[in-house]
Amino acid sequence: MIESMIDLLTRVVLIMEDGGSGKVVVLVDMDCFYVQVEKRLHPELKDKPCAIVQYNKWQGGSIIAVDYEARKYGVKRSLKGKEAKEKCPGIHLVQVPEKRRKADLSNYRKASGEVMKVLSGFTSVIERASIDEAFLDLTEPVKDYINSNSFDSLEFHADLKSTHVAGCNDDDDTHKDDCDLRISRGDWFKSSCSSDERVLIVAAILVQRIRETILNEVGFTCSAGISHNKMLAKLAAGMHKPNQQTILPQSQVDVVFSTTLLKKVRHLGGKLGEQVQDKLKIECVGQLQEYSLKVLQEKFGLKTGSWLYELCRGICHEKISNRIITKSIGCGKNFPGPSKLKTAKAVKYWLEQLSRELVERLEEDMTENTRQAQSITVHFLPEGQASSVARTFALPSYNTSLIVNNSWNAINKGHKPVTNEESHLTWTTGILNIHLSAGKFVQCGKGHMKSLLQLMSSDQECSFVSASSSHSSIITGKEVTQMTLCKEEREDAVLTTTPTITEQDQSLETSSMNITKFFTPIKRKGSLETQLDRNAKRREVVLEEIKGTLESDDDTIIDNQFEAVLCSECGEEVLKFVLEEHMDYHFALSLDKDSQIN
C-alpha cells in the first residue's frame, strides 16, 4: 500500500519535465588539466602527445594525466612512463615538480584557483568538486538571461557547434542533423522544444561563454555537462570530450540510460556498482527501473535503495554546496616495498619534509583565505596491515616542529621499536605511507587577525618573538609589560608588509590571547614524581643542577621551576627554567633550516 503510494507520488513528480528539480546544473571539467597547465608553461609542447609523470627513477614514473593525442595510442593514467613510451614513442613526458624530495602539485592547485576565479564571475553558486572540476548552479543566471532577452533575438546563431544533445548518436548522421537542426533553427525555441529543453539551451549558450572566457583569460579548454542535477551533469560532461559540451535533458534520460553502464554513473564506479550489478544481474542504469522501491531498499538498504530508485529515473537530490576552496589541506607520500621506512630517523625525516610542505601551504592559505586550520590528522600505513591508522591532534599554531613531534608520537605509540636505543631504532615492520592533513578551519578575525596570525604562524618570526626571555612571564603575571613589548616588536615587523597601522592598534587583546596560547600551562594533578615519569632521566639531572645552583632549598622555588609549558615549536613539555635555552635551540634550528637549499 505505502509502496504503491510512493511509486505514484514519484510518477507525479516525474511528470514535471525536469524531474522536479527546477534547476539548471552544469559540470565544468578541465581537459587533461595537468597537461594543459604544463603546456601553458612550455608552449613548445603544444600539439605534441604529452603525459605528466610523478617521479621517474622507477619505470619512468607514474602517469597521472594524459592528453588526448597520447590517449589515441592507448596511454592512460596509472601506466608507467616506460610503458607510455612503448605505446607512443613520440610522447613527451613532463615530470611533476619535486620539492623536498616529493612531488609538488602546487602549480596545478594555483591554476585551479585561476579557473575557479573565472567561474565566480558567472554565478554565485559554485562547488569545487576537485582540482579540475566544478559544479555550477546556473538556474538564476538562466532566468536573468531569459528575462533580459527577447527569444526572437536570442543568440540562435551563437556558435553551438561544440554543443551536443545526449541521446543523439553522433555517428549517425541522421540523428546528428536532427539535433543540430533543433539548436540552429530560429523557430525551434517557440514550437518544437519543451520548456525543460529551452532552459538547457539557454544554459548552453551561457556555458559556451564561460568556456570561452576560461580559454581567453587563463588559457585552458574544458568540457561541460548541462542538465538538472549533479548526476546528470557529470554524466553528460563525459559524453563529448575534449573541448565540447553536452546537454542532457530529462526527456533523453530513458534513452541514454538504456545503454549507460552502471559503473559510469557517479558513486557507482566502485564496490556498490559491482554489488548492484551482481545482485540484480543487470548492466545498465535504465534496467534499475524494473525494480520497485521496496525491492531496492530490501537489497541495498533504505537510503541507498531510494537513491537508486530515483537515480535510474534521472532524479538526484545531491546538494550543490557553495564552496570554491578546499575543506582540508594535506600532503602525503608512499614508501612502497624497498623504500619502506624502517627507522625512527627515516620517519622523522619524512615527517619533517611533509610538515614543512604542509605549513608552507597552510600559510599561503591563511593569506589568501583568512582562515586557520585547528587540527591535524596523521595517517600512516604499517607494513602488513590492511588499512592505515589515523590519529588527530590540535594545531594551535602553524608550526613544523609541533606537527613533526605530535605525528611522531602518534606513529611511535602504535608501532613499537625492537630496541630502545635510538640510533638503532628499527621496526620489525616498516611504514609504507605517511599522510598529513590539516582541517577544521575557522575564519580569522576581521582584518587585524589576519596579519597578526600571519606573523604568529611564521616559523621564523615565531622564533623571533618566543626566543626572547619574556615568554615564561606570560604565565606568571607580567602580561601587560611583556605584551606591550611584543606588540612593538610585531609592529616593526608587520609594518614592512602591512601598511595599516590602525588594524594593529586594535590587536592588543587579541594578541594577548594568541601569544598566551603559545605556551599553554599544563594542568597538573599528580605529584612532582609522577610528573617526571615521561622524561625522568633528563629531569633528574635537571633537578640536581637546580639544587646545586640555588642557594636555598626552598621547595616552592624548585616546584615553580618545574612548572612546565607546552612549547609551541615542538609540542613538548618544557620546564620553565630551561625554556630560554630551549627556544634558543629552536631559533638556531630555524636559522639552520633557512640556510638550507630546498
Contact between 95 and DNA by CB under 7 A: the answer reads: no
Q: How many residues bind DNA (CB under 7 A)?
A: 54
Q: What part of residues 13-72 is at the interface with DNA (CB under 7 A)?
A: 54-55, 58, 62, 64
Contact between 330 and DNA by CB under 7 A: the answer reads: yes
Among 113, 273, 417, 521, binds DNA (CB under 7 A): 273
Distance, in Å, from the CA atom of 217 to the CA atom of 214, rounded to the nearest integer, reads 5
Query: Considering the complex, what minimum distance in angstroms separates the CB of residue 272 from DNA?
Result: 4
* DSSP secondary structure of 230-267: HHHHHHHHTTS-SS-EEE--GGGHHHHHTT-BGGGSTT
The closest alpha carbon to 574, from 441, 466, 445, belongs to 466
List Cα–Cα distances, 531 to 340, 413, 557, 562, 565, in angstroms.
36, 19, 16, 9, 13
Distance, in Å, from the CA atom of 247 to the CA atom of 82, rounded to the nearest integer, reads 39
User: Which residues of 311-406 form beta strands (DSSP E)?
Assistant: 329-334, 341-343, 371-382, 389-394
Query: Considering the complex, what minimum distance in angstroms separates the CB of residue 410 from DNA?
Result: 8
Among 19, 332, 382, 571, binds DNA (CB under 7 A): 332
Query: Considering the complex, what minimum distance in angstroms separates the CB of residue 165 from DNA?
Result: 21
Among 133, 352, 360, 569, the one annotated catalytic: 133
Contact between 339 and DNA by CB under 7 A: the answer reads: yes
Among 146, 255, 389, 485, binds DNA (CB under 7 A): 389
Contact between 133 and DNA by CB under 7 A: the answer reads: yes
C-alpha torsion 588→591→595→598, nearest 10: 100
Contact between 372 and DNA by CB under 7 A: the answer reads: no
Among 387, 497, 502, 595, binds DNA (CB under 7 A): 387
Query: Considering the complex, what minimum distance in angstroms separates the CB of residue 361 from DNA?
Result: 8
Distance, in Å, from the CA atom of 50 to the CA atom of 31, rounded to the nearest integer, reads 13
Q: Which residues contact 31 (CB under 8 A, 6 or more apart)?
A: 68, 220, 221, 222, 223, 241, 242, 243
Cell numbers for 549, please give them. Answer: 645552583
Among 289, 321, 428, 469, binds DNA (CB under 7 A): 321
The closest alpha carbon to 68, from 47, 42, 38, belongs to 47
Decide: 559 and 528 in contact? Cβ < 8 Å: yes
Contact between 384 and DNA by CB under 7 A: the answer reads: no
Q: Print the binding letters for residues 488-507 with DNA: x by CB under 7 A, - otherwise.
A: --------------------
Contact between 331 and DNA by CB under 7 A: the answer reads: yes
Contact between 471 and DNA by CB under 7 A: the answer reads: no
Distance, in Å, from the CA atom of 423 to the CA atom of 551, rounded to the nearest integer, reads 39
Contact between 100 and DNA by CB under 7 A: the answer reads: no
Distance, in Å, from the CA atom of 532 to the CA atom of 540, rounded to the nearest integer, reads 8
Cell numbers for 135, please give them. Answer: 559544479
Q: Print the binding letters for residues 199-238 with DNA: x by CB under 7 A, - otherwise.
A: -----------------------------------x---x
Query: Considering the complex, what minimum distance in angstroms separates the CB of residue 386 from DNA?
Result: 6
Distance, in Å, from the CA atom of 180 to the CA atom of 106, rounded to the nearest integer, reads 41
Query: Considering the complex, what minimum distance in angstroms separates the CB of residue 547 from DNA?
Result: 40
Does the annotation count 133 as an active-site position? yes
Decide: 350 and 415 in contact? Cβ < 8 Å: no
Q: Print the binding letters for residues 424-453 with DNA: x by CB under 7 A, - otherwise.
A: ---------x-x-x----------------
Contact between 360 and DNA by CB under 7 A: the answer reads: no
Distance, in Å, from the CA atom of 442 to the CA atom of 444, rounded to the nearest integer, reads 6
Query: Considering the complex, what minimum distance in angstroms separates the CB of residue 266 from DNA?
Result: 5
Give catalytic residues, as residue numbers.
133
Residues lying near DNA in the complex (CB under 7 A):
54-55, 58, 62, 64, 77-78, 102-103, 105, 109, 130-133, 234, 238, 266-273, 303-304, 321, 326-334, 336-339, 375, 377, 379, 386-392, 433, 435, 437
